[in-house]
Structure 1
Amino acid sequence: MNRAELADFLRRGRGRLAPSDVGLTPGARRRTPGLRREEVAQLAGMSVDYYTRLEQSRGPRPSRQMLTALARALRLTDDERDHLFHLTGEEPPRRGWGSPRSSEAESGGASAHVRPGLLLVLDRLHDTPAVVVSDCGEVLAQNAMSRALSGDAFARPPRERNLLRRFFLDPAARNLFPPEDVAEHARSHVANLRAVAAARPDDPEPAALVAELRAGSEEFERLWAEHEVAVRRRSTKRFQHPLVGLLELDCEILLNEDDHHQLVIHTARPGTESYERLQLLRVVGLQDLKASSPPPPLPVPYLGAPPPDPRSA
């Protein structure tokens, strides 16, 4: 691990970003350009002390998951992300899904690296919920309105950040939807995952998720046996929010087929009751997020296991 080169690379990456580049409020006048250390730490889901030690060439070797979090926080390109891994003596994650995935349980594969351009779009959506997910349902990035609508995915353990896993294995996840809509959501999830698994026969990720859900959910097993196939596209969804009530939102899905990513945007039609409630959520929901305590900092001994992912704004 080249600590000096790593420290210099992190400092330069931090210095080239403005708060507005990553969806943060500039705040008080700054003496130097770039993000503050505490802002990078916040975006990467780590403690300020841990990040500071990395920049001072005295930190421990980061885990692969932590490197992925730093790459997203600093809006690194694919080449820059690979360089970051090389500086710590790690092999960069694969960029395609044609080769076998590492047996290491990590969120640091190629599909977990969200391109800077997509994150820039996400950061610009201040008044509507938006989230970046993989085609297998892994939440990769959220904006503040998405957290206000459906909760902070990155406050949960890594395994619970998959939308399908939570929907079928955690009954509480269904409270977000009116009870009469749950069956249709279940059917849609299964049909989409079947299409993904068939399109990626050499990638073990969707196959492993299917096997896990078939073993853990009788409902999933029953729906899987029906062999319905339907790629997830534009739809209208209803959310039962505990603060603002029922929201009927149009769901638009923008695809990045190279990385198997989806930018999911929820909007309400102007003039509707849902539109007014979404505006209310922007006020009361974001206030609630600011009032809540931040997730605990990542302890240094935890480096070998998946840490919180970076994007939660």
Structure 2
Amino acid sequence: MSTLRRDELAGFLRARRAGLRPAEVGLPDGVRRRTPGLRRQEVAQLAGMSIDYYIRLEQGRGPHPSRQVLAALARALLLTRDERAYLFRVAGESPPDATGPSRQVPAGLRHLLDAMTETPAFLVDAAYGVLAWNRLAASFVGDLSTLPAEERNMVRHMFGAAVPESHWDDAEVLRFARTSVADLRAAYGRYPADPAIAALVTELLGTSPRFAALWAQHEVGERRPTVKRVDHPELGPLEFECRVLHVPETDQRLIVYVAAPGTPSREVFRRLGARADA
């Protein structure tokens, strides 16, 4: 255990409390708030502690907070992964290991997906479970709302029995698969206690020799952009770049299909967007 830095802890708690709107934590905004952010009493209530104890922490004169108290404060203040680690460190504790990837969809990312009206996009967690998607993405991944959450997984689909062998003749498909497996292995290492990731890896090792061969190479790394060529049954041949954007605060990935300006694929995406808005 390292030294408790009371002033740093107090200043951090005050700043995070002031930066939160009541609506973000499910509280009414009210009309008589004289200062921005949450009240001390509201944070204490959300964290399940007495108001006197919380005030002492914010004033830099409280006792050494336990790990349970710090975890409760992190939840109450909606701290990101980096902010939670900082909270523990200034309180003289080592940050807890992440037990599993975040599967909550931040409101801002949901709004971003909906605003991308001419670009197919979807959000996945670190294990490539699909969490959210926009209307254009449904043209490629189907209506995922009809599937149980555990079946909405890109890697499971990629190595599923329904994929024809001829699919693997494309070098870009192979590269896409290799980098996906490397990224999954990185998540496997970051979240050793996550049962969903462990079950996915165990399942694919037993059902997909191709996955097992790639897994045995022990490649570790994040996904890189790749060019995808799709012969869509309704839209015809398409070519676009598959961009994978890492979301650091949740360790999620925003996957977007980007067609170059002036190409037939871009025009198809534009028409799809106009049809969806009609």
> How high is the TM-score relative to the length of structure 2?
0.59
For 1:118, the equivalent position in structure 2 comes to 109
Match of 1:184 among 154, 169, 175: 175
Match of 1:142 among 96, 114, 133: 133
Match of 1:220 among 206, 211, 234: 211
Match of 1:194 among 180, 185, 188: 185
Secondary structure of the structure 1 residue equivalent to 2:105: coil
CA contact (8 A) 1:166 1:173 kept: no
CA contact (8 A) 2:226 2:241 kept: yes
CA distance 1:137–1:170, change in 2 (3 Å): farther
CA contact (8 A) 2:125 2:252 kept: yes
Q: CA deviation at 1:173?
A: 8.7
Secondary structure of the structure 2 residue equivalent to 1:145: coil
CA distance 1:147–1:187, change in 2 (3 Å): same
Q: CA deviation at 1:99?
A: 5.6
For 1:130, the equivalent position in structure 2 comes to 121
For 1:206, the equivalent position in structure 2 comes to 197
Post-superposition CA distance 1:215-267 (Å, at most 9, x none): 12111111111222231133322222111122211222222222221111111
CA distance 1:178–1:217, change in 2 (3 Å): closer
CA distance 1:100–1:173, change in 2 (3 Å): farther
For 1:277, the equivalent position in structure 2 comes to 268
For 2:241, the equivalent position in structure 1 comes to 250
For 1:152, the equivalent position in structure 2 comes to 143
> How high is the TM-score relative to the length of structure 1?
0.53
Q: CA deviation at 1:113?
A: 0.9
Alignment of 1:259 onto 2:250:
yes
CA contact (8 A) 2:179 2:224 kept: no
Post-superposition CA distance 1:59-101 (Å, at most 9, x none): xxxxxxxxxxxxxxxxxxx7699xxxxxxxxxxxxxx993656
CA distance 1:97–1:132, change in 2 (3 Å): farther
Q: Give the partner amino acid of 1:166.
A: H
For 2:224, the equivalent position in structure 1 comes to 233
For 1:105, the equivalent position in structure 2 comes to none
CA distance in 2 between partners of 1:233 and 1:247 (Å): 20
Report 1 or 2 for greater relative contact order, CA contacts < 8 Å, sequence distance ≥ 6.
Answer: 1
CA contact (8 A) 1:178 1:238 kept: no
CA distance in 1 between partners of 2:142 and 2:165 (Å): 13
Question: Where in structure 2 are the equivalents of 1:13-28 lying within 5 Å?
Answer: none
Alignment of 1:268 onto 2:256:
no
CA distance in 1 between partners of 2:120 and 2:76 (Å): 30
Q: CA deviation at 1:169?
A: 2.3
CA distance 1:188–1:283, change in 2 (3 Å): same
User: Quick check: which has more Rg, 1 or 2?
Assistant: 2
Q: Give the partner amino acid of 1:153.
A: L
Secondary structure of the structure 1 residue equivalent to 2:215: helix
CA distance 1:132–1:172, change in 2 (3 Å): same
CA contact (8 A) 2:99 2:191 kept: no
CA contact (8 A) 2:230 2:239 kept: yes
Q: Give the partner amino acid of 2:270.
A: Q
Percent pairwise identity: 35
Q: Give the partner amino acid of 1:151.
A: G
CA contact (8 A) 1:245 1:277 kept: no
Q: CA deviation at 1:191?
A: 1.7
* Count of residues in correspondence between the two structures: 193
Post-superposition CA distance 1:132-185 (Å, at most 9, x none): 11111110001000102321222223232011112212424999x685244333
Alpha-carbon RMSD across the aligned residues, in angstroms, is 3.5
Secondary structure of the structure 1 residue equivalent to 2:257: strand
